[in-house]
Amino acid sequence: MGDESGPVERFQTYLRIKTVHPEPDYEGAVKFLRAQAEEIGLPCRVLEPVKGKPVVIMTWAGTEPSLPTVLLNSHTDVVPVFPDHWEHDPFGAVKTAAGDIFARGTQDMKCVTMQYLEAVRELKARGVQPVRTVHLSFVPDEEIGGVTGMKAFVETDDWQRLNVACALDEGLANPSEEMTVFYGERHTWKVEVTCCGRSGHGSRFLPDTAGEKLSRVLQSFLDYRRQQEQLLADHPDWKLGDVTTCNLTIINGGIQRNVVPDKFHACFDCRVAQRTPPDEFEALVRDWCRQAGPDVTYILSQKEDNLENSPISPDNPWWSAFSAALARLGVSTCPEIFPAGTDSRFIRRLGIPCYGFSPMNRTPILLHDHNEFINETVFLEGIKVYAELIPSLARVPA
């Protein structure tokens, strides 16, 4: 690959741009990406499907530009940090003597952004040109649901003109020698439960209180959570994406310490396994609320039934090209359902295969965690993976 300091230093520069919510520096990210496109020699344009939410598109023209294209997608934003819990400045991109690079976004997902760019840089330097045109998209707001990012983008004429046939997006690190590839996602639900009851003085045994009802609701959700956790433990061949998780994330209620409130509100983040029919899970929620007592209601503030999966059968040309490229590198892959949500779902809903893939093996899963890092060797090896994978996908025949 030649001088390896260049790719690592460019990666560190990108990590230092604070594209962190709630006020991500998208202007800084766009400026950096434009400079990379100019260095590599890729046409670049910036779109705004939503004002103030830039989508950067780079294009690497293929030898057969009439064919539907390959898309390499990544998001520019990162989640907030708690600096007191970090060993190093979370936006310092510090590299230790062991080669570990610490920064928010090292895994989720600025590493993939830079691996795409460095792979294309290397391939172009070798004189390689893809058969199908390859587009690179860099979208905002994935970390807050993607509604003002990828979801808005795929509804535009600019998206239609890209003529995408297959896409890549983010995955997860894998602590083993394998690399994980995701072909679908669990259903993402946000369940909000309101418990209403008798109000009065905090010194009394009041009947039918909101707190008692909330306690029953919590017990039902957490009992189900424990059952699903046990189900995962009982099936060693299953992954997190094969079961349903329910987590309490917010509780609101109360006005004064000696007043029993008339209302409590609880929010649950539920990721429903594809093996569980959505109607069946909602029936459970409805029953838990009914069992908790009168005046207990729920709403689904988010209900995404992600039923679309990308093909992973050997006879599918996209999966075959993906698998063959990694096999040539001696890389073992394990296909899974993604346990959380990514921008992949907006692409799959259009009937376009999209594979979630971050080439990070021998790496602990630290997305959204304190002390997020990637080792420079793993980062550099990922560039080699994409340098093999991108032309392989672009060679898939019409």
Output the DSSP codes for 24-46: --HHHHHHHHHHHHHHHT--EEE
- The CA distance from 141 to 374, in Å, is 23
Q: Residue 120: which CATH number?
A: 3.40.630.10
23 tagged catalytic: no
The band of 5, judged by pLDDT with boundaries at 50, 70 and 90, is confident
Same domain, 285 and 142: no
- The candidate with the shortest Cα–Cα distance to 19, out of 84, 86, 82, 90, is 90
What is the number of domains present in the chain?
Answer: 2
Final residue before a domain boundary, out of 304, 319, 350: 304
Is residue 142 flagged as an active site residue? yes
Give the per-residue pLDDT at 342: 97
Angle of helix 5-15 versus helix 110-125 axis, rounded to 10: 150
**Residue 85's pLDDT band (boundaries 50, 70, 90)?**
very high
What is the share, in percent, of the chain residues with pLDDT greater than 70?
Answer: 99
The pLDDT of 142-149, averaged and rounded, is 96
Residues 258 and 151 in one domain: no
pLDDT at position 135 over 50: yes
> CA 312 to CA 326: how far, in whole Å?
14
Give me the mean pLDDT over the 85-105 stretch.
98
pLDDT for 265-300, tens place per residue? 999 999 999 999 999 999 999 999 999 999 999 999
Q: What global pTM score does this model have?
A: 0.93
- The mean pLDDT value for 28-56 works out to 98
Same domain, 192 and 180: no
Task: Summarize the confidence of residues 44-71 as an average pLDDT.
Answer: 98
Greatest Cα pair distance, the chain, in angstroms, is 81
Q: Tens digits of per-residue pLDDT, 171-186?
A: 999 999 999 999 999 9
Query: What average pLDDT score do residues 380-394 get?
Result: 98
Specify the 3-state DSSP secondary structure of 232.
helix
250, β-bridge pairs: 267
- Helix axis angle for 210-234 and 278-292, nearest 10°, is 140
Catalytically annotated residue among 118, 142, 376, 381: 142
Of 253, 279, 304, which residue is a domain's last?
304
**Selected catalytic residue, list 77, 170, 242, 376:** 77
Say whether both 57 and 129 belong to one domain. Answer: yes
Q: 24 and 71: one domain?
A: yes
Q: What range does the domain containing 123 cover?
A: 5-185+307-394
Q: Per-residue pLDDT averaged across 88-94, rounded?
A: 98
CA trace torsion 113, 7, 389, 174 (10° rounding): -70
If you average pLDDT over every residue of the chain, what do you get?
97
Both 353 and 235 in one domain: the answer is no
Last residue of a domain, one of 289, 304, 319: 304
Q: Examine the domain organization and report whether 312 and 361 are in the same domain.
A: yes
Residues 377, 255 share a domain: no
Please measure the distance between the N-terminal and C-terminal CA atoms of the chain and give it in whole angstroms.
Answer: 31
Torsion sign across C-alpha atoms 141, 241, 271, 214: negative
The confidence score (pLDDT) of residue 3 equals 64
1 — pLDDT class (breaks 50, 70, 90): very low
Q: Tell me what pLDDT residue 4 has.
A: 72
Q: 162, 346 in Cβ contact below 8 A? A: no
CATH code of the domain covering residue 246: 3.30.70.360
Taking only the tens place, the pLDDT of each residue in 226-243 is 999 999 999 999 999 999
Residues 327 and 342 in one domain: yes
pLDDT tens, position by position, 201-212: 999 999 999 999
Q: Compute the distance between CA of residue 330 and CA of residue 178 in angstroms, rounded to an integer.
A: 10
Q: 283 and 319 share a domain? A: no
**48 and 171 housed in the same domain:** yes
Same domain, 237 and 134: no
